Structure formats: C-alpha cells, structure tokens
A and B are shown apart, each in its own frame.
Chain A
Amino acid sequence: MKYIDEYRDERIARALVADLARRVTRPWLLMEICGGQTHTLMRYGIDELIPPQITLVHGPGCPVCVTPLEAIDKAIQIASRPEVIFVSYGDMLRVPGSRSDLVQARAAGGDVRVVYSPLEALKIARAHPERQVVFFGIGFETTAPANAMAVLHAQRQGLRNFSMLVSHVLVPPAIRLLLSSPQNRVQGFIAPGHVCTVMGYREYEALSREFHVPIVVGGFEPVDLLEAISLLVAQLEEGRAETENQYARSVTREGNLQAQAIMERVFEVCDRKWRGIGLIPRSGLRLRPEFAAHDAEKVFQLEELTAEEPAECLSAQVLQGLKKPTDCPAFGRRCTPAMPLGAPMVSAEGACAAYYLYRRQAVAP
C-alpha cells in the first residue's frame, strides 16, 4: 500500500539504524507515548535493532488501557439491560472491569456489537427505533472528533434512541504528569502522530520549553519510528530540547482546525481518572450539557460506582514507563491475553500484550 510499504523498507531502516549507531555516545532513555507505536516497535523487533545505549520505555498512550474501571463497569451495567444494544469498538470488549468484561456481558445475554465506525452505531439506532443504542465513546484526541461528529449527526437526524457513554482522555496532561514526577527518568518523547494530526503540536512545544525535554512527533511505521528516535538522539547529544515533527506528511503545527472546532462544540474538558495512574486534572472530555439527551450517563440511572483501582498493580508503573512488562512476576504466567490481570495485557497495543505477543521467549533459531 502506498505510504505504508515504503516506510517498512528494510534498507532504509538499516541505514537509519547505522546512522543512529554513529550518533549515539551515551545511554538515553526514550518513551514512545502511543500504544500503536509500541505495537510497531515490538512487531518489527526495532528495540533489538537499535544501539544498546538507547532504552525505550512505553507510555500511557493506549486509551483502552487507561479507561478507568468505573467506565467499564458502567458499560457492562448498561449493556446488561434488555432494551439496550451496546455498541463498541472491538478494542474494549475484553478489557476487564472490576468483575467482568463486555464479552462476558454478551455471553450473559447482553446485546453487545462491534463496529469500526461510530456512524455504524447510528445506523443500528435507525434500524432499531424500539431499542436504546448506546455507543462507548473512548479514545484520545484522534478519535474524539469522529465521536463528536456522530453525536452531531444523531442530533441532526433526531435520533432519540442514541446515546454515548463518553470516557475520552487527552495526551498532554498525562505527559505533564510524567514529567512532573520526581521518579521520571524519561529524557525524550516520541509524541503520538495521529493525536497531533488532529491537535497540532503547539501544546508539545510548551512542554519542551517548560521541562527542557526533546519531543519528536512520530508516525507509526518502522521507518517513522527509527527516524523519530534518530531525531531525539541528535537533540539529546547536542543538548537541544525542542519539539520537532517527523510525521510531517500528516501533521502540521496547527493541526486539523475543523476537527478541533467540532470537538470543542460537542465536548468540554473535565478531570479524568486514568486506570493505573489515578486522577489527572483536566485530562478528559465529556459531553457538553446541551447534548444531555445523547449522554448515556444522563439517559440511564446508573448506580454510583466507585471501583477502587488496584493501587499496587504493576500496570501503573508500566504505563508510566517506570517498569517494563517483563519486570512483573505475573507476566506471561498468571497474566496472559487469555487471562488478563490488567488492561495493558488486553489491547493489542497494550505494552504487556505487545511484549507477550511478539517476544515472549527468545526466538533466535
């Protein structure tokens, strides 16, 4: 596929690795924020290709992994109602809540359906006017405009039986939290290319300045990531701390203004609990009050849920880049994708699952 295959070219990748080896003189600890990038690193074994001085740790950029227990418990509660068709992206189905997951809710009789696009949830709502159709609106800034558009379409079409359970999260407040932590060891960040496609990277420039940390907006293919790593190492070796844009074929400094305006119209910023991390101020999005008719939290009388996050779970440290998944004694034994103990083992781009899937054991022939 054009604009994908070229970025998986072995020769270019090897050249970038060689360039990196020439550049690096000291150990550096880098973090890729986004789970999609973690997935690529593991799938292609990039962490084994790069010089040993460079350590990659994996960030909290998996919306599935950071969706709080309460949101999943609420989803299960709604999905279990007989009048409801609960519609979700496939990613959320196996994420464990405090007692169950959506797959088990379906096995217990809930009507849970998987879609690729939120607009397909609207289609289901039109086809079943007698049922309540609830869409699980999760994701980062990349997904928020699409989910916002679905709400606007529903409003315009007068779809009274469509609502959204919103648990959106925002990336920059999480990076700020990581950088503010006294435990932080990360010296450079690869910023998420598709979040920045929507939001631009001005917020990241502010972070670079405030914390004197290099940030490179990176794409998702092997060549993208190697180039991003190379740009970060160049900055670190030269003592610079700027925000650079490796993913310029998709990302501009200002981002997608149309998408930002639509997000702004439908959602407002709120405090949000992140699974494994805790409450991060102004790190989430919720529906504005004028969309209450499409807000599942308002449409349904939900039991007040206060599921306590397991405070000592290692996923918290994995999501903050303090530990690697393989540091966990449960990894690959008590905790596998078939029997996940924590969310990062569920989503394909959860750091634990990426480690488990692609390099559980040494595979050298």
Chain B
Amino acid sequence: MEDEPKSDFSCPVPLPARDKVLLGHGSGGKLSAELLREIFLPAFQNPILARLDDQAIVSVDGLRLAFTTDSFVVSPLFFPGGDIGSLAVHGTVNDLAMGGAQPLFLSAAFIIEEGLPMETLRRVVASLREAAASVGVEVVTGDTKVVEKGSGDQLFINTSGLGRVPEGVNFSADQARPGDRVLLSGSIGDHGIAILAEREGLEFESPVVSDSAPLHTLVAAMLEVTRDSIRCLRDPTRGGLSSALNEIAGRSQVGIVIDEQAIPVREEVKGACELLGLDPLYVANEGKLIAIVAPEVAEAVLAAMRAHPLGREAQIIGTVHASNPGVLAMRTVLGTTRLVDMLAGDQLPRIC
C-alpha cells in the first residue's frame, strides 16, 4: 500500500462556498481572522490599525490615548455573575487596560428590539451605570436605536472607551521574545461555562459564575513593578486562552509552550467541559488576563498579581521560545507535547 501513486488521492468534494457570513465568523477563531484579513483590513489600512491590538494607541498633541470599541450580544442578557450592562463596561475597560491605559470615558449605544420590557432595559442600564461608577469612568455620550421585532435579539450594546496611557508603557502583541514568561491571572473558562449553563438545549445546573470584572486595577498593580519589562497583555475573551496565545505567537513570530498542569481550571468547569466535549482552552473569559513578561521580572509581577483580589490564583503557565515561530504548544499531563491550534469557528457541544 505504501507505494500507491499519490496522484490517486484527490478529494473531489467541492470547497464550501463562503457567500454568506456564518456564526463562526464571530467566534474569535480562524474564521474571524479571515474576515478581518479579507474584508476589514484592506478597507481601512493604516499603521495604527495594523497593530491589531485590543485597543488603538493614538497620540494627540503629545498625549498618548488608548481608544477602543466593542459590541455585546450576549444571550441570555442576565447570567450568573453579571449581565450585558456590566459586561459592556468591563469588556471595553479591559480592552483599554490591556494597553496599559487608565480608562477615562465611555460611550454607550443601545440597539433595542421592539417589545423589550422597559423593566429589562432599566435593569441593564442601572447595572451599566453601577459598573462604570465602580471603575471610575463616566458614560459621556451615547445613542439609542430601536429595530423591528425579529431584527435583533432583545438588546445589543456597543461601548467605546478612551483612556490615558502612562509614560513608558508600550504593550503590543508583537513584542514577545524568547525566554519571556507567560503569566495567567486565574482560572479559565468560567464566563463561557456560566453562559452555556443558561442556554436552551444544554441545561445543566452549575455553581459557576462569570468572571466578568474590570482588570484596570490589576494592571495598575503590575505596572507598579515594571513598565518596560511587560511585553504584552491580553484578555482571553472569545476563543479563550488558545486564541489569545496563538495571536501573540503569530504576531511576535515566536513559539509559546504552556504547561497543562499549571493552567488553573475549576473542577466545575472541567466537569461541564467533560460532559459537553469542550476544551477549556477555547472557552471564553471576561475577567482574566495573560501577560508576557521578561524572565527577570516574572516572579515579581506574579507576586503583585497574587496580591490583587483578581489575580489571587495567578500562575506562570509557560515560556516563549525561538523555535517553532507562530506555534502554540502544550506540555500535557503525560509529559508529551502537542500543538494547540486556533479553532476554525465556534466550539460546539459534541456527543462524539
């Protein structure tokens, strides 16, 4: 069999047409990257956008500002540990914080489906206000649109944020260097599993609450230790830890090796993942960050993270290497090494 001519092996199944946007295009995986690369980047090409970080860093009259925007389409609107209102603040604040910025101002735009109970809207707005107040940012501009019933799923929110980047802070996903350490602020998968537990068709009872939280004070605590030895920060939201680290490996053209046993995963999250056939490495987080830091400051930064309430379970989970540029690999519990790829689209619960 070994010498069978290779020319016989063709897969004549036609390539699936991509004439419509699929849900997977919004998953934060490879399909999302494809959309970005093929539609958005060519249209808006500029050096600031080309950095592809979670926020744009712009200079205005010598002042360095971080600017970002994010849309929130979470279903259900209310979930254990949060709701779309608080999430809309935390998501955008965290995108600013990952640039090292102190968040200053937010905008909030509401796209409301006709028929949404007024009480629901009140609750969401109150939650958004409280979240903003506790972060210390103000919502200084906004917008409201109402769409016909059936044209939206109850309520979508977009927030944009503006923050100030301190002197000497210059984080970007293309700055990881061989020898750097990979730090993770706590357990992964909590947000995704909390949401999944509420979804129609899956139905399990879980004590898991979303980790949705603003990370700017944790980042500030890390900046107390060092400004110039932190290469890059990321919050592993959609697509999970794997997507975030794959992006860094790709942008920096380095190899990253993480240690399966060092990555904190709650027992409940593990249980849900076993049951539904999911991998926690791809499950979303809303209150965790990854830091790539120089080896000589890794322990000090780790200590600063652990001293902060949102970083108590922080761990050094991996190392940056020169070999295998662009590749994320993981040392398994058995001591073998395997690739951790980005997923094409959404992770679906499976039975097989």
Contact = CB atoms under 8 A, between A and B. Distances in A.
Interface of A: 1, 4, 8, 10, 13-14, 35-36, 42-46, 48-49, 62-64, 87, 89-91, 93-94, 96, 98-101, 103-104, 106-108, 113-116, 120, 124, 139, 143, 183, 185, 222, 310, 312-315, 317, 322-323, 327-330, 334-342, 347-349, 356-365
Which of A107, A116, A322, A327 gathers most chain B CB within 10 Å?
A: A116
A312 B338 contact: no
Contacts of B14: 99
Interface string B315-352: 00000010110010100111111110101110011111
B145 interface: no
A365 B255 contact: yes
Most buried by A among B20, B203, B350: B350
Contacts of B201: 87, 113-116, 120, 124
A336 B344 contact: yes
A335 B9 CA distance: 12
Contacts of B339: 357-361, 363
A363 B321 CA distance: 11
Contacts, number: 187
13 contacts: A1-B271, A14-B334, A90-B351, A107-B21, A116-B203, A139-B351, A143-B351, A312-B9, A328-B11, A329-B9, A347-B350, A348-B350, A358-B341
Interface string B1-17: 10000101111111111
B262 interface: no
B41 interface: no
Interface stretch (B22-30, B68-76, B111-119, B233-241): B22-30
Nearest to B204: A116
A332 B138 CA distance: 48
Contacts of B304: none
B334 A120 contact: no
Nearest to A348: B350
Contacts of A116: 201-203, 275-276, 349, 351
A63 B6 CA distance: 27
B348 A114 contact: yes
Interface of B: 1, 6, 8-17, 20-24, 30-31, 34, 200-203, 255, 257, 267, 270-271, 274-277, 321, 323-324, 327, 329, 332-339, 341, 343-345, 348-352
Given A91-B350, A114-B201, A365 B337 contact: yes
Contacts of A114: 201, 348-349
B351 A89 contact: yes
A46 B344 CA distance: 25
Contacts of B203: 116, 120
B334 A363 contact: no
A338 B30 contact: yes
Contacts of B275: 116
B345 A89 contact: no
A320 to B, nearest CB: 10
A91 B348 contact: yes
A347 B255 CA distance: 27
Given A1-B270, A363-B255, 19 more contacts: A10-B335, A44-B333, A44-B336, A45-B336, A90-B349, A96-B13, A107-B22, A107-B23, A113-B201, A115-B201, A116-B201, A116-B275, A116-B276, A124-B200, A222-B334, A313-B13, A348-B277, A348-B350, A349-B350
A326 B274 CA distance: 28
A10 B1 contact: no
Contact of A335 (B11, B34, B327, B348): B11
B334 A1 contact: no
A349 B13 CA distance: 20
A89 B202 CA distance: 11
A91 B352 contact: yes
Contacts of A113: 200-201
Contact of B334 (A45, A124, A329): A45
Nearest to A346: B344
Contacts of A358: 338-339, 341
B329 A365 contact: yes
Contacts of A315: 11
A102 to B, nearest CB: 11
B12 A313 contact: yes
B197 to A, nearest CB: 11
Nearest to A48: B336
Nearest to A61: B352
A62 B21 CA distance: 28
A329 B10 CA distance: 8
Contacts of A94: 345, 348
A143 B350 CA distance: 12
B202 A314 contact: no
B334 A365 contact: no
A310 B271 contact: no
Contacts of B12: 310, 312-313
A64 B11 contact: no
